[in-house]
Structure 1
Amino acid sequence: MTYHSHLDKTISADFGDALLASLAPDGGLWMPDSLPFYTPMQTAELAAMNFWECAAELAEHFTDNAIEKDKLRALCKDAYNFDVPLKTLKGANLDVAMAESNDEYILELFHGPTLAFKDFAARFMGRSASELMKSSGQTRTILVATSGDTGGAVGDAFLGQDGIKVVILYPEGGVSKVQEQQLCTIGDVNSNVSAVSLQGSFDDCQQLVKDAFANQELAKKHNLMSANSINVGRVIPQSFYYFWTSLQIKAAHPGVPIVYSIPSGNLGNLTGGVIAKKMGAPIDRFVVGNNVNDPFVDYLKDGEYIPRASVPTLSNAMDIGRPNNFPRILDLMDKDFEAVSSLCWGASFSDQETERHLRRVFAETGYIMCPHTAVGHLAMNEFSKDVERPFIKVTVATAHPAKFADSVERIIGQEVPLPEALSKAMQKEKRVTKLEPNLSALSDYLDTL
């Protein structure tokens, strides 16, 4: 199976080249030439597997012999050594015996090492890249922009890997205190992971990464590789958890439509969901929750896409005014607005609405959401108002609330216990370099590594 540039389908690459090159030579995003479609009999077999086994089966199509099957299975088993729970707001796990009394679930994607959904993609990507580079003897500098969680997940996934340097760019003052501490304490002073604070927004960070890749001299000099969701190796693994969890829900609720609500910024998570559906996952629709940075929600209303400068919000990881993966959504849906708007429904919410909802959910159920998850749950509630037939509601929980403890504790009036990994990070000394958001400053910094 090969990949093509979304700008020009005649430009192609195999999985290894697409992963390591990040962008196509024309600046386009790599897209798979085809997607497998699994029949009901095949999905029944996949549903009986545990998550990592299902992920390995799905990944085999996308890697297309670039990684041997046994190595791919070992890679997925190692990458996905944590739970992927579906829970009710009362904290109970999905249970077939109790299914009749439940129609709403929270898909907790924050049980990986950095407590955010980005671990699913970063760990698969990191291990795949390492496996591919073993035989080539290449070295790489990974340049990644983060609005909060991507940098930590990528840094953790590539920490200590030979031949790889990781440079994490994040907006100064644009991530939570806990997120920043996590970003700036990966490894030790001699580690291959560096954090860089830029004076600007996440959009500035993202644009600087794009500018660096567009500068052929700089990209070649440092053998740059992206780990942002512009890299197809980031979005493909995000289809795995939609595919597997929708099969678990179908087994518990046969014949009932399933709708996922996704708090969205760069649209990588939604792209993974759309890929899963096109492969045969039993998903009826997607609800997209935005904060006030909502160009995609606006697009769903009238088909006009207008990117804009982002503004800071409580749900900072979604403070993105120019989502990278919008072209991928269009490519997957054949640039058909009616098809996109039939599959996706969207709504956006202010910080005040997000705070009220987070507080209310905690008061009524005891469940603590991070601000992003609260936006997704708000969107699901809004969508549900106009739906008369029964359906299963699944809100995607993207991060542990402790990663936003400074905001969440203020909102609910109660301390949020820090998981052990975050507690250890908070005790470490930060290592960070401050830069102006321009290519000259970044180039000078890369020369020092």
Structure 2
Amino acid sequence: MKLYSTNNHDLNVDFPTAVFNSMPLDKGLYMPVNIPVLDQEFIQQIDQYTLPQIAFKVASALLDHAIPAADLQKIIDEAFNFEAPVVPLEAETYVLELFHGPSLAFKDFGARFMSRIMAYFLKDGEQLLDVLVATSGDTGGAVALGFLGVPNTRVTILYPKGKVSEIQELQLCTNGENIHAIEVDGTFDDCQHLVKQAFADEELNRKLRLTSANSINISRLIPQTLYYFNAYAQLRRAGKKEVIFSVPSGNFGNIAAGLLAYKMGLPVKQFIAATNVNDTVPRYLKTGVYETKPSIQTYANAMDVGAPSNWVRIMDLFNQDKAALQEVLKSYSYTDEETLKGIHSIYEQFGYIACPHTAIAWLALEDYKKENPQENATGVFLSTAHACKFPDVFSEEMSSKIQIPVHVQELSAKLKHAEKMDTVYDSFKSYLTTFY
């Protein structure tokens, strides 16, 4: 497998290089030189395959012998040992539940695969691998659990002070061992900027072996393609053939993976990027002007991203052709007030309790259907996190019906520790060089 930088298509690296050096020094992002199109026989018979079988087929095609088949199968079996069911709410509306992994968020797919890929390529006696990750909510918890105890790694997680839920913070700050948390007095964008500055710092990179666990890392993106294929397989079993995916979108890694799956031959009729008031992409698709802005705190905190990193990958997939992209991608944004109404509407109509991110995806699907009343494809909105992570947004009646997994209940009894830091890069650099 060869990959290039979105800022320089002539820069080619192999898969391990892209995994361990997650962002090129030119500040682009890595993309596959060749995007394989899966054979139609597999697509037509996909309903006969299990999630691990689909994962192996998709990953094998993308990785192109970067990892021997037996080793890749073992990685997949370990990483994806939980389900991602498509649950019907009504005849042509389904929810894809991606919160059945250990951190109760869709990011378990990426984090568990990535941690095992890195462990596979790490050699005994090599320099310690320092994994940096900025989180607006769920990424940190998934990465922490994915890397906990992985030999020869140290993980540093940056999160914005007061802008993650209590359960999310506990998942970041109670692990110990090789997992370290930093509470940044700023926004998620500030956290992400600190990480990007570290990767662009040549002096720091000469001292430390840095990589990222954010969705800028290609080994996070690849496994996220598989649950789109797996969802389609489940819909085929239910007799459905055409599908629309509505995706909660913040850093746009989730929907970038869906669009990559589409380019690999997954027959998706429409993608919908559903955002909160951090609406950089909906504004761009409407006006043609791509203008980032400081992130705004919302109930859907994992989507509080004003400068989505993965947007460059999406534009690259479509060769910078906005018109071609708009044929496949629509986008809608919602306020906190609309999000709360969406949560209650889903509960009243279906008795289903959705987290804020999930509710936004449902709202976008509903608005798309209203704008396209002739549309008869099956709509699937992605549920990216367990409702128990967001207790403040639910009514007393709804809260009483949310079942909190035992391993999450036990977090409150653990010792919590996080370093406190400002948004000045020198503070972060000093921490990394002195702490390590």
Q: Which runs of 5+ in 1 are unaligned?
A: 90-100
Alignment match of 2:128 (pick from 122, 127, 139):
139
Letter of the 1:248 partner, please give it: Q
Letter of the 1:289 partner, please give it: A
Letter of the 2:253 partner, please give it: G
Deviation of the 1:411 alpha carbon: 8.8
Deviation of the 1:41 alpha carbon: 0.8
Question: Is the CA contact 2:148–2:178 (under 8 Å) kept in the aligned structure 1?
Answer: yes
Mapping for residues 107-256 of structure 1, pairs under 5 Å: 107-134=96-123, 137-186=126-175, 188=176, 191-254=177-240, 256=241
TM-score by length of 1: 0.93
For the residue of structure 1 that corresponds to 2:257, the secondary structure is helix
What RMSD over aligned residues (CA atoms) do the two structures have, in Å? 1.6
Q: Distance in 2 between matches of 1:334 and 1:143?
A: 30
For the residue of structure 2 that corresponds to 1:4, the secondary structure is strand
Deviation of the 1:25 alpha carbon: 3.0
Query: Is residue 10 of structure 1 aligned with residue 10 of structure 2?
Result: yes
Task: Find the counterpart in structure 2 of residue 354 from structure 1.
Answer: 339
Question: Is the CA contact 1:292–1:348 (under 8 Å) kept in the aligned structure 2?
Answer: yes
Q: Distance in 1 between matches of 2:124 and 2:417?
A: 33
Letter of the 2:334 partner, please give it: F
Question: Is the CA contact 1:409–1:416 (under 8 Å) kept in the aligned structure 2?
Answer: no
Q: Distance in 2 between matches of 1:128 and 1:325?
A: 21
Q: Classify 1:127/1:24 alpha carbon distance in 2 versus 1 (closer, same or farther; 3 Å).
A: same
Mapping for residues 367-446 of structure 1, pairs under 5 Å: 367-387=352-372, 388-409=374-395, 412=398, 414=400, 416-446=402-432
Letter of the 2:83 partner, please give it: D
Task: Find the counterpart in structure 2 of residue 88 from structure 1.
Answer: 88
Letter of the 1:380 partner, please give it: L
Q: Distance in 1 between matches of 2:431 and 2:401?
A: 39
Deviations 1:185-242 (A, max 9, x none): 12x3xx0001110000000000000001111111231211101111111111111111
Q: Classify 1:228/1:413 alpha carbon distance in 2 versus 1 (closer, same or farther; 3 Å).
A: closer
Alignment match of 1:262 (pick from 238, 247, 252):
247
Which stretch of the first structure deviates more once superposed, 422-431 or 112-121? Answer: 422-431
Q: Distance in 1 between matches of 2:16 and 2:79?
A: 18
Question: Is the CA contact 2:36–2:62 (under 8 Å) kept in the aligned structure 1?
Answer: no
Deviation of the 1:34 alpha carbon: 1.2
For the residue of structure 2 that corresponds to 1:434, the secondary structure is strand
Question: Is the CA contact 2:18–2:218 (under 8 Å) kept in the aligned structure 1?
Answer: yes
Question: Is the CA contact 1:120–1:238 (under 8 Å) kept in the aligned structure 2?
Answer: yes
Deviation of the 1:335 alpha carbon: 0.5
Deviation of the 1:137 alpha carbon: 2.7
For the residue of structure 2 that corresponds to 1:301, the secondary structure is helix
Task: Find the counterpart in structure 2 of residue 275 from structure 1.
Answer: 260
Alignment match of 1:290 (pick from 266, 272, 275):
275
Deviation of the 1:413 alpha carbon: 6.0
Deviations 1:136-187 (A, max 9, x none): 734210010000100111111111011100000000011111111111112x
Q: Distance in 2 between matches of 1:136 and 1:109?
A: 36
Q: Classify 1:329/1:411 alpha carbon distance in 2 versus 1 (closer, same or farther; 3 Å).
A: farther
Q: Distance in 1 between matches of 2:195 and 2:396?
A: 34
For the residue of structure 2 that corresponds to 1:372, the secondary structure is helix
Letter of the 2:243 partner, please give it: I
Letter of the 2:338 partner, please give it: E
Question: Is the CA contact 2:25–2:200 (under 8 Å) kept in the aligned structure 1?
Answer: no
Question: Is the CA contact 1:177–1:406 (under 8 Å) kept in the aligned structure 2?
Answer: no
Task: Find the counterpart in structure 1 of residue 325 from structure 2.
Answer: 340
Question: Is the CA contact 2:86–2:234 (under 8 Å) kept in the aligned structure 1?
Answer: no
Deviations 1:98-153 (A, max 9, x none): xxx72111000000000000000111111001001136734210010000100111
Question: Is the CA contact 1:15–1:62 (under 8 Å) kept in the aligned structure 2?
Answer: no
Task: Find the counterpart in structure 2 of residue 312 from structure 1.
Answer: 297
Query: Is residue 322 of structure 1 aligned with residue 333 of structure 2?
Result: no
The sequence identity of aligned pairs, in percent, is 40
Q: Which runs of 5+ in 2 are unaligned?
A: none
For the residue of structure 2 that corresponds to 1:443, the secondary structure is helix
Mapping for residues 13-24 of structure 1, pairs under 5 Å: 13-24=13-24
Q: Distance in 2 between matches of 1:230 and 1:389?
A: 34
Letter of the 2:168 partner, please give it: Q
Question: Is the CA contact 2:245–2:268 (under 8 Å) kept in the aligned structure 1?
Answer: yes
Mapping for residues 61-80 of structure 1, pairs under 5 Å: 61-80=61-80
Q: Distance in 2 between matches of 1:52 and 1:13?
A: 28
Q: Classify 1:10/1:426 alpha carbon distance in 2 versus 1 (closer, same or farther; 3 Å).
A: same
Question: Is the CA contact 2:25–2:199 (under 8 Å) kept in the aligned structure 1?
Answer: no
Q: Distance in 2 between matches of 1:45 and 1:165?
A: 42
Q: Distance in 2 between matches of 1:357 and 1:42?
A: 37
Q: Distance in 2 between matches of 1:413 and 1:227?
A: 32
Letter of the 1:179 partner, please give it: Q
Question: Is the CA contact 1:405–1:416 (under 8 Å) kept in the aligned structure 2?
Answer: no
Question: Is the CA contact 2:391–2:399 (under 8 Å) kept in the aligned structure 1?
Answer: no
Q: Distance in 1 between matches of 2:206 and 2:314?
A: 29
